[in-house]
């Protein structure tokens, strides 16, 4: 009896052990398969479709897949290559968002927004080839390293951000819907670049210019998103207000690790505007940007006309004059606008027919080898022109860390989780918190970002995720 009992226990333990190792084995096997598939797919793509590119390496992750760095051999120009697995595009919502992002990128021509170059594909992936922002880091990382900004230096950034939003909202009728510091690249010379239009939308697709899809990142999302109300471009203005508040104060306007409490704060509470680092003009601007009533919230035009912005040395960025300057435009609108240096590159590499049809293809939104090469060459010139504009003193100067009273810009609380809301597909969440550091310089921030993934149900039940710090 005892023997049978011991045997039974042994057998039961063996079954549990077998099940455990079976599950672990299956997971490991699947992981190896995915890694090998990813490597083999990239190898096949690089050989069959990317013969014109070399020095390819992984540099990050976007809304739909990995992002690679590469060099376009015929021109010697660096590019970013965003891969999208075609299996993801079988989902109607993912496919819709991807093609919407592509259509928006194709029509955008703004010096502070990443430029689109070309679409490539193979059996398994679609690839978006875009401008590579040399020497850039995320604006969040810049603040991590250098600390919060003075108001004067904050104006340099915010005027560029308003220039972007003015172009998107008024000219292209586009809402970004995921405006946050991680989606803003910052160069050493002081230039911003907005990236990732994976959640963007066209306002003109709706008759009343109102949208309803829940999306965005928790700390940056407007109250109407959480209340499941219809919204418009004002959600971007709320996010811009959060970014402005954070870059000057060193802390987000609404902070809580509990998701439900954070939502309650965003919907019901007012931020702390009584910070010593906020001037009276800045407080007024922030209160209008972070107005919980979207109908009373500042539009981009109202923000551009606010004294805190108009008195800035870089207020030229929010003017129509700035965007009308040919030296900051990639797309040629007339024959006289065609840049001869860039066109010479086109003639050296592309076919004569494509070169001769360059202006017509740009007008008709046709993708050819000539339009791709022209975009590449011209984008580099625009960046050069921007750098010269800044260094000449006509525009902003490079941002640098400000040493100030530590109490003035001290982070009082841990930063909350940064979430992406999407009821229909797998989403990415980021977790950010403050960590102490010995001998930290005054005014310096230190934020650790750890990432994890989970699926949010249609009822949007929010649970705490634990991620390993990296």
Distance CA 470, CA 467 (A): 9
| Three-class secondary structure of residue 423 per DSSP | coil
Where helices occur in 90-150 by DSSP H, the ranges are 92-107, 139-146
Cβ-in-10-Å burial (0-12, 13-18, 19+) of 456 comes to: buried
Going by the DSSP 8-state scheme, the letter that residue 217 receives in this structure is B
Q: Which of 309, 310, 292, 188 is nearest to 244 (CA)?
A: 309
As beta bridge partners, residue 352 has none
Angle of helix 234-249 relative to helix 151-166, nearest 10 degrees, comes to 160
Q: 365 φ, ψ to 5°?
A: 60, 35
Residue count (the chain): 470
**Cα 354 to chain centroid, rounded:** 33
Please check if 82 is assigned to a binding site: yes
Distance CA 70, CA 48 (A): 15
Q: How far is CA 189 from CA 86, 136, 157, 184, 385, in A?
A: 38, 9, 12, 14, 12
Q: 428 φ, ψ to 5°?
A: -110, 135
The pair of three-digit structure tokens given for residue 226, joined into one six-digit string: 């959480």
Q: Check 109, 122, 178, 256 and give the catalytic one.
A: 178
Interacting residues of 342 by C-beta distance below 8 A, sequence separation 6+: 373, 374, 377, 378, 381
Q: How far is CA 438 from CA 412, 435, 442, 444, 446, in A?
A: 17, 10, 12, 12, 11
The pair of three-digit structure tokens given for residue 409, joined into one six-digit string: 């810009």
**Cα 363 to chain centroid, rounded:** 28
Q: Are 81 and 59 in contact (CB under 8 A)?
A: no
Distance CA 168, CA 300 (A): 10
Contacts 24+ apart (CB under 8 A), 394-397: 394/316, 395/314, 395/316, 395/317, 396/156, 396/159, 396/160, 396/190, 396/313, 396/314, 396/317, 397/156, 397/190
178 is catalytic: yes
Specify binding-site residues for ATP. Answer: 82
Active site positions, annotated = 178
């Amino acid at each position: 009896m005892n023997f049978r009992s011991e045997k039974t226990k042994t057998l039961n333990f063996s079954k549990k052990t077998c099940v455990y190792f079976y599950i672990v084995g299956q997971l490991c096997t699947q992981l190896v398969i995915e890694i090998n598939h990813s490597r083999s797919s990239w190898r096949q793509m690089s050989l069959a479709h990317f013969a014109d590119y070399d020095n390819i390496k992984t540099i990050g992750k976007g809304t739909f897949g990995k992002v690679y760095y590469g060099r376009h051999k015929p021109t010697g120009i660096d590019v970013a290559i965003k891969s999208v697995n075609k299996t993801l595009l079988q989902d109607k919502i993912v496919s819709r968002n991807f093609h919407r992002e592509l259509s928006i990128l194709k029509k955008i021509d703004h010096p502070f927004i990443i430029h689109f170059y070309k679409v490539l594909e193979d059996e398994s992936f679609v690839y978006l080839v875009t401008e590579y922002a040399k020497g850039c880091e995320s604006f969040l990382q810049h603040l991590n390293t250098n600390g919060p900004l003075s108001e004067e230096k904050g104006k340099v950034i915010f005027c560029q951000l308003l220039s972007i939003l003015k172009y998107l909202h008024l000219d292209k009728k586009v809402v970004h819907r995921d405006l946050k510091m991680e989606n803003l690249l910052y160069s050493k010379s002081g230039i911003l670049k907005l990236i990732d239009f994976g959640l963007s939308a066209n306002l003109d697709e709706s008759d009343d210019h109102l949208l309803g899809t829940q999306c965005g990142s928790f700390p940056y999302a407007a109250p109407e998103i959480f209340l499941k109300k219809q919204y418009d471009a004002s959600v971007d203005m709320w996010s811009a207000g959060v970014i402005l508040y954070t870059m000057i104060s060193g802390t987000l306007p609404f902070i809580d690790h509990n998701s439900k409490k954070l939502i309650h704060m965003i919907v019901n509470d007012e931020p702390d505007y009584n910070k010593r680092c906020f001037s009276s003009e800045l407080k007024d601007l922030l209160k209008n940007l972070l107005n919980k009533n979207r109908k009373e919230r500042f539009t981009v035009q109202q923000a551009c006309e606010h004294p805190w912005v108009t008195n800035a040395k870089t207020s030229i960025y929010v003017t129509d004059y700035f965007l009308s300057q040919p030296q900051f435009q990639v797309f040629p609108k007339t024959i006289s606008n065609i840049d001869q240096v860039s066109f010479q590159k086109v003639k050296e590499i592309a076919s004569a027919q494509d070169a001769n049809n360059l202006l017509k293809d740009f007008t008709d939104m046709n993708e050819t080898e000539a339009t791709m090469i022209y975009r590449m060459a011209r984008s580099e010139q625009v960046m050069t022109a921007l750098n010269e504009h800044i260094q000449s003193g006509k525009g902003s100067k490079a941002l640098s860390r400000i040493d100030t009273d530590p109490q003035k810009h001290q982070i009082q609380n841990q930063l909350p989780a940064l979430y992406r809301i999407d009821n229909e597909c797998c989403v990415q969440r980021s977790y950010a918190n403050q960590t102490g550091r010995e001998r930290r310089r005054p005014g310096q921030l230190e934020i650790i970002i750890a990432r994890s993934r989970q699926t949010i149900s249609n009822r949007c039940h929010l649970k705490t995720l634990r991620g390993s710090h990296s």
